[in-house]
Amino acid sequence: MRVEVLAIGDELLDGRVADTNTLRLAEALGAVGQKIIRRTTVTDDRGVISEEAKAIAGRDTTLCVVSGGLGPTTDDVTSEAFADLLEVSLERDEEQARVIEERITSLGRELTPNQLKQADRPEGARVLPNNKGTAPGFEVVYGGCRFVAVPGVPREFDAMIEAAVVAPLREAGGETPRVLLRSFGLVEAQVDKRLLPIKTRWPAVRVGYRAHFPEIHVSLKAGEDHLEDLNAAEGFCREELGVHLFSDTSGPFAASLVALLKERGETLAIAESCTGGLMASLLTDVSGSSAVFEMGVVAYSNRCKELHLEVCSELLASHGAVSEAVVLEMARGVRRRGGAAVGVAVSGIAGPTGGTEEKPVGTVWLAVVSDQGEKTRRLSLPFERDRNKMISAYAGLDLVRRHLIR
């Protein structure tokens, strides 16, 4: 099978949006033994789109995933371009028009004619329903190539590609046995170095990495006839990644901590300075986190640290807010105030300002406190504000995870 991608949208070429769809599509297709050999990204230009589709079919492509240009606005012209290619007119799919109408009115919004335009597709095309959004997709065959056109919005793209492309391939039996391990606390080069021996010891196993900042995901794949090698390589990975391995399911980082807290019957209270609420937000991204999360306090100011986390002002004056002594008091304070089994705190300098020679930007102190003991950790992060925030929030949750599993 020869697979290409045709990504459509001015926003992909003018610096507004990075095309991450191809990344996830490649991963999903890889799991069913297929790979993308070319991606073409073009603007919302009717003539260019149909010309490009013709060229793609002319290269003996079997499947082309087309994304974008199916929305309600006048610059969405993918349906028109494919109608041009097939030399047919557009026709409205009445069922989809009804679905769109229901969706819009159920949201209490007014139905506008441009909304209904999304139900238009090239005559004879197969309609692909969209359960996550308004714009349906379509599927046509031209010059021996199957074109599957779906919206570019990632969650819609993923769901529709899964239904129209990946699931049928999987059912046809092309799934490669595969292991996915998620790690935190090592950079890609470190993971690579630790796992290098796999290549020589189990050559039938393919190792892949994906940096999903700040997580590193490791995938292992092998043919049906090398399952033993795959299992052995997986065991090796688990040993090498050690405490850095946090999940072997598809769940996100915080979900593994919520599961662990539930399992232990523990509750958590969080005090944050430099992460500004992000640690609590990551935790509460997990449905069911309310069972283990007692309280979060975002204490930017010293006044707030004194008043609501019971950090004494002498400590703040003598050690500074970003210090081991203060972060420990913050963790104790929020644990006491929140009535939680475990208290965790973070205090640091996310940047770009606020650094000093002694405590440069990226200096972060973490503390965890429970009946099992207290632990602190200092980080020196090299990133910019957003990444410093993210990695500090992860590290705070990770400190709790490690405190619980030791």
Q: Report 7-66 residues binding its own copies (CB under 8 A).
A: 10-20, 22-27, 29-30, 35-43, 48
Say if CB 258 and CB 401 are below 8 A apart: no
Kindly give the interhelix angle for 154-161 and 21-31, rounded to the nearest 10 degrees: 20
Residue of 94, 108, 225, 373 interacting with its own copies (CB under 8 A): 108
Residue of 141, 167, 172, 189 interacting with its own copies (CB under 8 A): 189
Q: Measured between alpha carbons, how far is 72 from 16 in angstroms, rounded to an integer?
A: 19
Contacts of 271 (CB under 8 A, 6+ apart): 296, 297, 299, 309, 330, 331, 333, 334, 343, 344, 345, 346
Report the nearest approach of its own copies to the CB of residue 82 (Å).
18
Tokens of 400: 């709790």
Q: Measured between alpha carbons, how far is 279 from 282 in angstroms, rounded to an integer?
A: 5
Residue of 242, 288, 374, 378 interacting with its own copies (CB under 8 A): 288
Report the nearest approach of its own copies to the CB of residue 136 (Å).
15
At 169, is the secondary structure helix, strand, or coil? helix
Residue of 68, 69, 71, 348 interacting with its own copies (CB under 8 A): 71
Tokens of 315: 């400590």
Interaction of residue 210 with its own copies, rule CB under 8 A: yes
Q: Measured between alpha carbons, how far is 238 from 146 in angstroms, rounded to an integer?
A: 41
Q: Which residue has 């679905």 as its token pair?
A: 99
Segment interacting with its own copies, rule: CB under 8 A, options 86-94, 223-231, 257-265, 331-339: 331-339
Interaction of residue 379 with its own copies, rule CB under 8 A: no
Residue of 242, 352, 372, 374 interacting with its own copies (CB under 8 A): 352
Say if CB 116 and CB 92 are below 8 A apart: yes
Please give the residues from 161 up to 180 whose contact with its own copies meets the rule CB under 8 A: none
Interaction of residue 153 with its own copies, rule CB under 8 A: yes
**Residue 320: left (phi > 0), alpha (psi -120 to 50), or beta?**
left
Interaction of residue 250 with its own copies, rule CB under 8 A: no
Report the nearest approach of its own copies to the CB of residue 251 (Å).
14
Report the nearest approach of its own copies to the CB of residue 405 (Å).
24
Interaction of residue 300 with its own copies, rule CB under 8 A: yes
User: Can you say how many angstroms the Cα of residue 96 is from the centroid of all Cα atoms in its chain?
Assistant: 30
Segment interacting with its own copies, rule: CB under 8 A, options 163-171, 238-246, 277-285, 310-318: 277-285
